Amino acid sequence: MGFISELIGYPLGFIMWLMYIITHNYAVAIILFTLITKILLFPLSVKQQKSSAAMTAFQPKLEKLKKQYGNNQQKLQEEQMKLYAEEGINPMASCLPLFIQFPILYGIFDVVYRPITHILHFGKDVIDQAKEITKGILESSGVVNSYFNVRPEIYIVKEIQKNPDAFSGMNNPDFVDAVVNFNNKLLGIVDLGDIPTLHPEVWNAAAIILIMIPIMSGLIQIIMTIYSQIRMKKMNPDAPSMGGMNIMLYAMPIFSVWIAFRYPAGIGFYWTSSSFFSFIQSIILYKIYTPEYVASLVEKDNQKRKKKNRPNMYQRMLDEMAAQQGQTAGSPAASGKIAVSGVDKEEEQQDIKISKAKQKEYERMLIREARRRQAEKYGDEFIDDDDDD
């Protein structure tokens, strides 16, 4: 595993080790670990649910803008940004927990791949010696593959538990006993270091349970997706279908099944546990964050922001664009003040009255300039459709 996965894996491995010390069962330790991470991330999940519900309730206003300015994308973007600023809505707020989940999953890979390091706490020298013995055993049986170099500790555990006498020459006398007593079995029969396959050598209870881990992972996520869509439809019956977003929502469960069939069962078992707890969490949060409750919370947030005179993200963007435009083009600031040279700072600006039409034109100029800068940054062609309306 790489440096990043190890960096994330060690703190997660410590939590997993603590859970294993309490339970003496690797599968139960994964369940408790998943529950702890969900509890730690619960405040972010609340924020995500609040933002998602607010966006659902906010959707009719966006649809109204699309109908009004559908033929002028620049004008539509301008009005949407102004609406976000007025309502205090941040559509990106619901994405933060999703971004945090991926580093956790990345660290889980390291923990599952290296149970001797993270759970049993043996050093590199001991593991390297066991790795050489295991490699010799696998080579003599003709089953060495590329996976061995990626996840040697899983193979070490498997071979020691199968034939501990083959490791009698280990320098550390406690190592073999610790690995033999390592309880990494789900329900006492499924090795969480095994990789699920649709073509097991023997069809038995362990093989069936192993296959069910990836299937359950995808199934729970699909149920959660359907449930979320039903709840959102109830909150906003007039909302249009999300189209491409729906495809992504259903693609994630398929992706999780694919991952769970390619990696040790401990990964899929974590993903299944995480999906289950997320589903229960969603049911609770949807019960709490009704459209009416969310509307009251958004209003309270707006009132607090106004009292503190603290602009939201979109208002800050508008203010920044106004400042940039004023610096580059010598335009008046959005507040309606003009600098006059040769006068003290307080006298350098004089209030001017700008008509609504002039102010509107100025705001459009800011949006147009921002789009032009964005196009230059990414090498795209800038098309000025300001004359469409």
Predicted pLDDT of residue 352: 41
pLDDT at 174: 92
**pLDDT for residue 90:** 66
| Per-residue model confidence (pLDDT) at position 379 | 57
pTM above threshold 0.75: no
Looking at residue 57, its pLDDT comes to: 66
Residue 51's nearest CA partner among 340, 274, 314, 298 is 298
Backbone angles phi, psi at 135, to 5 degrees: -60, -40
What is the phi-psi region of residue 248: left when phi exceeds 0, alpha when psi lies from -120 to 50, beta otherwise?
A: alpha
Query: Tokens in use for 47?
Result: 């924020």
For 178-193, letters b (16+ CB in 10 Å) and e give bbeebebbbeeebbbb
Q: What are residue 337's phi and psi, to 5 degrees?
A: -120, 145
| C-beta separation of 8 from 104 below 8 A | yes
Residue 271 · residue 258 · CB < 8 Å: no
For the stretch 311-330, pLDDT in tens is 555 556 656 655 655 555 44
Q: CA-CA distances (angstroms) from residue 76 to 33, 65, 303, 315, 370? A: 46, 7, 27, 17, 14
Backbone torsion region of residue 124, taken as left when φ is above 0, otherwise alpha when ψ lies between -120 and 50, otherwise beta? alpha
- Cα distances from 196 to residues 109, 190, 219, 259, in angstroms, run 16, 10, 16, 10
Query: Domain spans of the chain?
Result: 3-117+206-296, 120-181
Burial label, 33 (beta-carbon count in 10 A; 0-12, 13-18, 19+): buried
pLDDT value, residue 336: 43
Say if residues 49 and 43 touch (Cβ distance below 8 Å). no
- Look at residue 325 in the predicted model and tell me its pLDDT: 55
d(CA 375, CA 388): 19
Q: Spell out, as residue ranges, where the chain has pLDDT lower than 50.
A: 244, 329-355
What is the per-residue pLDDT across 47-89, written as a single tens digit (0 to 9) for each? Answer: 777 777 667 666 777 778 778 877 777 777 777 777 777 666 6
Cβ distance 104 to 30 under 8 Å? no
Residues 6 or more apart from 348 whose CB is under 8 A from it? 339, 340, 341
Cα–Cα–Cα angle for 31, 274, 40, nearest 5°? Answer: 80
The reported pLDDT for the residue numbered 349 is: 44
Cβ count near 158 (within 10 Å): 17
Q: Is 272 exposed, middle or buried (0-12, 13-18, 19+ CB in 10 A)?
A: buried
